[in-house]
Amino acid sequence: METNVIYCGDNAEVMRRYIPDNSIDLIYADPPFFSNKTYEVLWGDGYELRAFEDRWKGGINNYIAWMEPKIAECFRVLKETGSMYLHCDYHANAYLRVLMDKIFGEKNFQNEIVWAYKLGGRPRKGFPRKHDTIFFYSKHPKKFSFYTDAIRVPYESKGGYISSGRKIVKGKIYRVNPLGKVPEDWWFISALNRQSKERFGYPTQKPEELLERIVKASSKPLDIVLDPFCGCGTTIAVAHKLGRRWVGIDVSPTACKLMVKRMRKIGFRNPTIIGLPRTIEELHALEPFEFQNWVFEKLHGRVNPRKIGDMGIDGWVELDVPTQVKQSDNVGRNVVDNFETAIRRYGKKRGVIVAFSFTKGAYEEVARVKLRNELRRLDIKLKTVKEILKET
């Protein structure tokens, strides 16, 4: 099995194809939380808009049905000594606990860890929701690896038992460990604020300190750590720094490219991405925002950060040429006509429409637009995905 690699694709399919049974030492999974929110963030390069919806038509039952084959694959690839940490929150944690019990077995539940933090808003009524849940399961009830001394923290108290160094309970002597105590199953670790140096602009990014504790607790150097919902790559970055081998999976090409940048930043020179879309069929299957990202990356342009009220302009190429992206075939005359209006509103003389193919009427409308606006040099170019693939 190849390690220190990033896979782009559905994690259940990737695990079935590339990861053998009983091969992974530790899995950390941070899936969508069933939050029914839309996240939209423009990253530094300009052409990448991360706009994903954590929304599920059909409700919680569809969400759990979507999660089940993914968790089942995680169970398959774990070693007998391996562990899995599933990160969730109040939206679906009760349902995910039942699902984990079903797949891993109730006897393999080890801990319900509470990650507490303070950042974020506060409601006018009720208690502020300031914690996530992390379910810790093992593949085997007793054989799982756990490295206690690697995660010890300083004792909070300095008096009594701590200062004396030992105490006797029912004739048994308990001594203070010089490395400190094992943390309880509630962890106060600060969430990332907007000024944090760790931030990569990813809307659901977790702090490295949180992953450091998990990786140290349930793996040792050279063990293999898997993150099947890898996002911006916090897990693989921490694993690499700690001397573990790693595998990251995410369905988003944008996220996978961000992982590459992050791994290069910490000194991993040539991260490999397996599975990036390269064919017409694969590009057709992308989420709309991912297809848009692909277009603007290939054309060295930038996306329009405004998704509401963008007046039909999805972004710009060649610095200031308005561009519209259509993830469809046989784009017709009406699209060209509406785009002409958008160009006029922006006061531009040129524009580009990208699609998989265009109708004869679309090309005829482009010619008419150019003829009607010959003095103003209004020029619309129709560019196909096939042409972009040939050029790049």
Q: Give 347-376 pLDDT, tens digit per residue.
A: 888 999 999 999 999 999 999 888 876 656
Amino acid, single-letter form, for residue 296? F
Smallest Cα–Cα separation from 313: which of 284, 291, 289, 341? Answer: 341
With b meaning 16 or more CB within 10 Å and e meaning fewer, what string describes 240-251?
bebebbbbbbbb
With b meaning 16 or more CB within 10 Å and e meaning fewer, what string describes 69-89?
bbbebbbbbbbebbbbbbbbb
The average pLDDT across 115-128 equals: 86
Helix 333-346 vs helix 360-372: crossing angle, to nearest 10: 30
Sequence ranges of the domains in the chain: 5-142+186-274, 146-183, 280-391
pLDDT of residue 207 exceeding 60, the answer is: yes
Residue in the block written with tokens 């998990």: 214
pLDDT of residue 51 exceeding 60, the answer is: no
> H/E element holding 176?
none
CA-CA-CA-CA dihedral for 273, 275, 276, 278, to nearest 10:
140
Instruction: Give the pLDDT score at 371.
Output: 81
pLDDT of residue 83 exceeding 70, the answer is: yes
Cβ–Cβ < 8 Å for 293, 48: yes
Cα 230 to Cα 252: distance, rounded to the nearest angstrom: 10
CA-CA-CA-CA dihedral for 71, 74, 75, 78, to nearest 10:
-160
53 exposure class (CB count in 10 Å sphere: 0-12, 13-18, 19+): middle
To the nearest whole number, what is the mean pLDDT of the chain? 89
Point out the least confidently predicted range of 255-259, 303-307, 327-331.
303-307
Q: How confident is the model at residue 37 (pLDDT cuts 50, 70, 90)?
A: low
Smallest Cα–Cα separation from 6: which of 254, 246, 208? Answer: 246
The average pLDDT across 307-320 equals: 79
CB atoms within 10 A of CB 320: 11
The average pLDDT across 77-98 equals: 96
255 exposure class (CB count in 10 Å sphere: 0-12, 13-18, 19+): buried
Point out the least confidently predicted range of 27-36, 82-91, 244-253, 348-357.
27-36
Q: Alpha-carbon Rg of the chain, whole angstroms?
A: 26
CATH number of 280-391: 3.40.1340
Structure tokens at 144: 């799982």
pLDDT of residue 146 exceeding 60, the answer is: yes
148 exposure class (CB count in 10 Å sphere: 0-12, 13-18, 19+): exposed
pLDDT of residue 169 exceeding 90, the answer is: no
pLDDT of residue 308 exceeding 80, the answer is: no
Q: How confident is the model at residue 195 (pLDDT cuts 50, 70, 90)?
A: confident
Please give the backbone phi and psi of residue 60, each rounded to the nearest 5 degrees, phi first. Answer: -65, -30
Fold of 5-142+186-274: Rossmann fold (3.40.50)
> H/E element holding 317?
strand 315-317
Structure tokens at 245: 């081998």
Residue in the block written with tokens 């992050």: 262
Its pTM stands at 0.86
Smallest Cα–Cα separation from 185: which of 138, 230, 146, 133? Answer: 133
For residue 345, give the DSSP letter: H
Beta strand 315-317 pairing with 321-325: antiparallel
At residue 256's C-alpha, the angle toward residues 255 and 260, to 5°, is 115
3-state secondary structure of 213: helix
Cβ–Cβ < 8 Å for 73, 12: yes
